Structure 1
Amino acid sequence: MIIRRGRVADADAIAALHERSRAAYYGDALEAENAQLDRRPMWRRLLQESDTHVFCAAEDDSLVGFLCLRWQADGTEVELHSLYVDPARFGTGIADALYEQFVAQSGDRQAHLEVWNRNERAEAFYRRHGWIPSDRIRPGPSGTAFVTWRRGA
């Protein structure tokens, strides 16, 4: 497996993997209109933003995971915007490798992310890496909140 910087040409593959992974953890909790949302424009935009960095995990020229991080304007804090793995590859170490890339990029700066409160796989992963849920929430699918987590807070 290699981890490389994402390119605009990766947007369609990233969007497809994003959709598959979301379907795996949301299941039937995701409203149809949200599940069918075309995420390709969002990924094309994110791949071009100067404060956003996308890294792709690939094997044999196939995308198996990706990471997206976004810097605050002053550079003091970073958001782990997305870390997704192809559901067929859950549990194979791809998420850990992408997370190591996040750590290499963010160093010891303050960091935050959001986790859907029914995504037990993500919660366990981030707890294992020293993240702590905060009391900051926002509405999410099926009445289940997104919870903001902080790294080592």
Structure 2
Amino acid sequence: MIDNIWHLRGSVELPPDVTDAITIERLEEFLVKQAKPVRNDTNSSITFYSPLWENPLIANNGLVLAMYDQGNFRIEPAPEGRHLRYDLRSLHGLMFCLAGALLFLVFVGFFRGFAAAVPVCLFVFGWLYGGNMLLAWVRIPSAIRNVVRGS
């Protein structure tokens, strides 16, 4: 369960009047707008892989999926209707934020001592990664619902 730190998983109920092909097509357009290259595209699933060093956060800061380096969207039947399940990974973002926090640990530790540096390091990591993830947890489900509905 520790991978929940760098994964965002969820599902969206698909409208009955929208076919799987239309849903995948809308998702593909959404991923292109988000600067996420599509790797695998089937009738019921689509994936992307976009390392942060190939697509820097600074250039795409306003994009909903900017923090995520890998993702999988798949359509699954359910008793109450079809669902689009998604699994997005932000492992590279986690590593970059951790590296930034460790940089603060080194500099503050050098000038103020290790005891003063640890709280600063934790704050910086929480601010960098936690802030981005909180925004993503709010924005991404809404964006995916809008894509699926075609709005």
Q: TM-score, normalised by structure 1?
A: 0.30
More helix by share: 2
Q: TM-score, normalised by structure 2?
A: 0.31
